[in-house]
Amino acid sequence: MAVTALYSAHYRSLVRLAVLLVRDTATAEEVVQDAFVALHGAWRRLRDPDKALAYLRQSVVNRSRSVLRHRAVVEKYAPKGMPDAPSAENGAIGALERTAVIEALRGLPTRQREALVLRYYGDLSEAEIADAMRISKGAVKSHTARGMAALRTVLEQLS
């Protein structure tokens, strides 16, 4: 089936995309799995099956945004207590996230971060990014340019 072929070919890259957006591997895997389940359920309704990968990317971006919104609500209303000890996985992931570029990327506004991740990590064209983010190509250019300028400023200050 076509969904299985898409899964085999693009699962890893979609998980990497989601990890950069939600900052958590397990959640990223869930986001991508949910996107594939939704695609499978909607396969018959797809007007153009050749655009299934674009549908998946857009679904991953949208589901990642939902996860981040949910986290913000949970954090807002969570009781303030003593934090749990970090897990071994958290320590391993933390070691990977200590690079200056990732830290600078995290400091960017959401739209700028999404545009840069999709452009330079996902290697998407401006048109594909515009489709995935549901914005115009001009807005993609603007978010990308502003994000690069902000990253350059932060990284120059660190060196």
- Quick: pLDDT tens for 14-31: 999 999 999 999 999 999
C-alpha dist (Å) from residue 83 to 4, 27, 80, 88, 97: 41, 20, 9, 15, 20
**Is a pLDDT exceeding 70 seen at residue 119?**
yes
- Assess whether 37 and 77 both reside in one domain: yes
**Is a pLDDT exceeding 60 seen at residue 139?**
yes
**Is a pLDDT exceeding 90 seen at residue 84?**
no
- Assess whether 10 and 49 both reside in one domain: yes
CA 39 to chain centre: 18
How many structural domains are present in the chain?
2
Among 63, 82, 97, the domain-final residue is 97
In the structure, what pLDDT confidence band is assigned to residue 59 with cuts at 50, 70 and 90? very high
- Assess whether 87 and 105 both reside in one domain: no
More confident residue, 47 or 140: 140
Whole-number pLDDT of residue 31 = 97
- Assess whether 69 and 84 both reside in one domain: yes
Among 97, 116, 135, the domain-final residue is 97
